Structure 1
Amino acid sequence: MGVTGKLEVEVDIKCHGDLFHELFGKKPHHLPNITPDKVHICNAHEGDFGKPGSVISWDYTLDGKKCVAKEIVEAIDEENKSVRFKIIEGDLLKEFKCLTISVHVIPRGEETAVKWLAEFEKIADDGPYPTKIMDFCISITKDIEDHHLKA
């Protein structure tokens, strides 16, 4: 058994949380238009966007490197405004035996918090933690906020 853990960050945004949740829950294929320097392609590989059990494939740039990923949508919770993805193929699985990313939108009066959670098991005990992935998620969150505030 390797090193397992959770890494969590929260980012406060000024745009409406429903827009953010809808983007990840139902319209992730819009991300390449919002943050094209980070997310290049998002396709439904199996199933439909917005449906648990669907498989989504991504082409993206992480830490200056072109990467690919395939993930299954494990859960979409409309009431609690959360989406959970499990990585099933791609570059991230070169460093992690398993990796699940969750995004949860939390209304807080004037602002909204976006909570990202990475649950992981490392392949090598001395391997990296998913900090680059969390930095990527924070950056995408800010890009989405900027996009919606300009609209």
Structure 2
Amino acid sequence: MSLSGKRVAQIEIKSSGDVFHQLWKSNPHQLPSLSPTAIQNCQTHDGEAGTVGSVLLWNYFHDGKDRVAKTLIKDINEGKKSVTFEILEGDLLEQYKTFVIHVHVDKHGSNNLVTWTVEYEKLGPNVPDPDTLMDFYKKTTKDIETHHLQN
């Protein structure tokens, strides 16, 4: 059994793919107001949001518990509408040695496809794959879409 893995979730959204990308890239501090049951807080800890190398502190609710994460923005690709985050500290590192999150938006006219990809290495063979976290990303994506369709 391999301790390294990858999970992918794709969600079609009707709201703007550009707006979705900009939220995760430059305005993550707005996410708690868009998905308050999932994300309670996001603050810039170091650097400037929207730049590679910046560090963000997150408070979120997952699997019935309040959680924390410190993430590094590892990569931003404007052409591909993608942002890559690496977990530096927090609850996820109690089970995973490494955890990298990619959020990517494919735009096709009025159809937009959000793809969440996580790459991880478990600390041991009894650690579960992060399937419930993929559900968390789907819920957050739908919350953001709902908010933008109402406005």
TM-score range, shorter chain: over 0.9
> What aligned pairs does 1:78-97 form with structure 2 within 5 A after superposition?
78-97=78-97
Deviation at 1:37, TM superposition (A): 1.1
Deviation at 1:126, TM superposition (A): 2.1
Match of 2:132 in 1: 132
Deviation at 1:108, TM superposition (A): 2.4
> What aligned pairs does 1:1-151 form with structure 2 within 5 A after superposition?
3-151=3-151
Matching residue's letter, 2:94: K
Deviation at 1:109, TM superposition (A): 2.9
Q: Which runs of 4+ in 1 moved over 4 A?
A: none
Once the two structures are superposed, residues 45-92 of structure 1 have per-residue CA deviations (whole angstroms, 9 ceiling, x without a partner) of 000100100000000100110000001000111111000000010001
Deviation at 1:102, TM superposition (A): 0.4
**CA distance in 2: counterparts of 1:126 and 1:67, whole angstroms:** 21
Task: Give the TM-score, by structure 2 length.
Answer: 0.97
Identical-residue share of aligned pairs (%): 43
Task: Give the TM-score, by structure 1 length.
Answer: 0.97
Could you tell me which runs of 5 or more consecutive residues in structure 2 were left unpaired when the two chains were aligned.
Answer: none
Could you tell me which runs of 5 or more consecutive residues in structure 1 were left unpaired when the two chains were aligned.
Answer: none
**Once superposed, what is the RMSD of the aligned Cα atoms?**
0.8
Number of equivalent positions: 150
